[in-house]
Amino acid sequence: MDYKKAGVDIEAGYESVRLMKQFVERTNRPEVLTGLGGFSGAFSANAFKDMEEPTLVSGTDGVGTKLKLAFLLDRHDTVGIDCVAMCVNDIACAGGEPLFFLDYIACGKNYPEKIAQIVKGVAEGCVQSQAALIGGETAEMPGFYPEDEYDLAGFAVGVVDKKDLITGQSICPGDVLVGIASSGVHSNGFSLVRKVFDMDRESLDTYYDELGETLGEALIRPTKIYVKALRSVKEAGVTIKGCSHITGGGFYENVPRMLPDGVKAVIRRDSYEVPVIFKMLQAKGEIDDHMMYNTYNMGIGMVMALDPKDVEAAIGAVEAAGEKAFVIGTVENGEKSAELV
C-alpha cells in the first residue's frame, strides 16, 4: 500500500504547481519577496510605509454552489475570478487597496490541468484587482469530495490609511446613493438558481435571444471586480461616505450595513434597468420581488453613499474606469434599513 493507492497522487500535486506557475507570475508586484512553492508568502511593507496610519483590511470568502455550474459546464477558468472578487470587493468597500491573495482548493482527485485552469482564473482576478497571488494550497481529499468535484475559497489582505477608511459614520439625510452595475448573478443565490433552472447541459446550452447568449454563459459569468472603479472615484477627489457590496442578502441585508443609526436608504427600483437574467429567474421561479431583492444584486453590485455635490464627478470616474453607474436612491431620516420603492 502507498499514498497513491490510498487516493492521493503526490506527483499530480507537483504537476499542478508546475502548470500554474505561468499564471501566478502574471500577478507579481515589486513587494513580493518569495516565489511559488515556499511554506509562506512574504510581502514587503514598502507598499504602505509612507501612509500616516497604515491600516490592514482583510476579506475571505468562497464561490459557493456556483461551483456546481462549473462542474456541469466543465468550465473552470472563471470561478477563480469569482473567488477573488468576493474577497477584494469587501476590502475595496472599506477604502482599501488589495495587496495580496491566497487561495485554497480542496478536491476529490487532483487533475493538474483542471487545477491549473482554476488558478488561471484566480490569477486573472488578482490582475484585475492588482493583488499579488503569493500562495495557496491544493488539498487532495479522496473519500471526502467526489473525484470530479472541488471547493474553492480565498483570503485577501489590503491596506488603507486610517483617515481614508470608509466607515459610513458621516452618512446623513440628503446623501445620494449611486449604484455600480453588476455583471450578472455574481456568486450568490445559486442554491435557488439551481432549483429554478434545469441543471443539465441541454438546458444550460440553450440560447436565448433576450440574453444574447446561452443560459449557462449568462450564469457562469464571473463576479465584477470593483477595485479599479472605486479607486477611480477616490482619485477624482470624491469622498465615498459609505459603501456596500451587494452579495448574499441582496439590498435588504447589505445596504444597511453601511448606514449609521437614524437613517434609511430609499432605493428606487425604476432607477435602472434590471438585467434580463434576473427577470427570467423571477418569472420561471415565481419569486416575489422582496425575495429577489433579498437574495440577488438585481444588476447593482456596489452601492456608494455620496454628498450630492460629488455625484456627477463620481459617476464620471466610474464610467472612466469602464463601468456603468446610476443614481438609485437617497438617504432619509428613519430606522436603519433599506426601503425599495
Q: What is the DSSP string of 73-110?
A: HT--SSHHHHHHHHHHHHHHHTT-EEEEEEEEEEESS-
Residue 75 lies in a domain: yes
Q: What is the DSSP string of 141-190?
A: -BTTB-TT-EEEEEEEEEEEEGGG---STT--TT-EEEEEE-SSSTTS-H
Distance CA 326, CA 272 (A): 7
Give the DSSP H/E element, type plus range, for residue 49: none
Of 164, 198, 227, the last residue of a domain is 164
**How confident is the model at residue 6, as a pLDDT?**
65
pLDDT at 10: 78
The three grid cell numbers given for residue 230, joined into one nine-digit string:
472605486
Region of 286 on the Ramachandran plot (φ > 0 left; ψ -120 to 50 alpha; else beta): left
| Per-run averaged pLDDT (10 residues), the chain, 341 residues | 68 84 91 84 90 96 96 97 98 97 96 96 98 95 95 97 96 98 96 95 96 97 98 97 96 97 97 97 96 97 98 98 98 97 95
Of the three residues 107, 132, 164, the one that is the final residue of a domain is: 164
Q: What is the pLDDT of residue 21?
A: 87
Please report whether residue 171 resides in a domain. no
What is the C-alpha separation between 308 and 120, in angstroms, rounded? 41
**Does residue 244 share a domain with residue 121?**
no
For the beta sheet containing 300-306, the strands, ordered from the edge strand earlier in sequence to the opposite edge, are: 242-245, 300-306, 176-181, 325-333, 263-267, 338-340
Tell me which of 112, 134, 164 is where a domain ends.
164
pLDDT score recorded for residue 251: 98
User: What's the confidence (pLDDT) of residue 261?
Assistant: 97
Report yes or no: 201 and 215 within 8 Å, Cβ to Cβ.
no
Task: State residue 161's pLDDT score.
Answer: 97
152 and 227 share a domain?
no
Q: How far is CA 229 from each of CA 19, 79, 236, 297, 328, rounded to the nearest angstrom?
A: 32, 21, 11, 17, 17
- Structural domain contains residue 2: no
Is residue 240 located within the same domain as residue 334? yes
Per-residue model confidence (pLDDT) at position 240:
98
Which residue range forms the structural domain that includes residue 62? 10-164
User: What pLDDT was estimated at residue 158?
Assistant: 97
**What was the pLDDT predicted at 3?**
63
Q: 243 is written with which cell numbers? A: 459603501
Q: How many domains does the chain divide into? A: 2
- Cell numbers for 184, please give them: 450578472
Residue 2's pLDDT is 61
Instruction: Indicate whether 151 and 200 sit together in one domain.
Output: no
Distance of CA 221 to the CA centre of its chain: 12
pLDDT on residue 47: 85
Q: CATH number of the domain at 282, please.
A: 3.90.650.10
In a domain, 170, yes or no: no
Handedness of CA 300, 340, 258, 234 (dihedral sign): positive
**Angle, helix 10-24 to helix 112-129, in steps of 10 degrees:** 30
Task: Let me know the angle formed at the C-alpha of 244 by 241 and 249, rounded to the nearest 5 degrees.
Answer: 155
Same domain, 123 and 213: no
CATH number reported for the structural domain that contains residue 142 in this entry: 3.30.1330.10
**114 and 249, same structural domain?**
no
Gap between the Cα atoms of 306 and 183, Å rounded: 23
pLDDT at res. 5? 62
Residue 244 shares a structural domain with residue 325: yes
Query: Does a structural domain hold residue 3?
Result: no
Residue type, 69: L
Q: Do the bridges between strand 97-107 and strand 132-140 make them parallel or antiparallel, or are there none, so unpaired?
A: parallel
Summary count for the chain: helices (H), strands (E): 12, 12
Number of residues in the chain: 341
Q: Which residue has the cell 502507498?
A: 2
Nearest to 182 by CA among 272, 281, 69, 91: 272
- Is pTM, for the whole model, over 0.75? yes
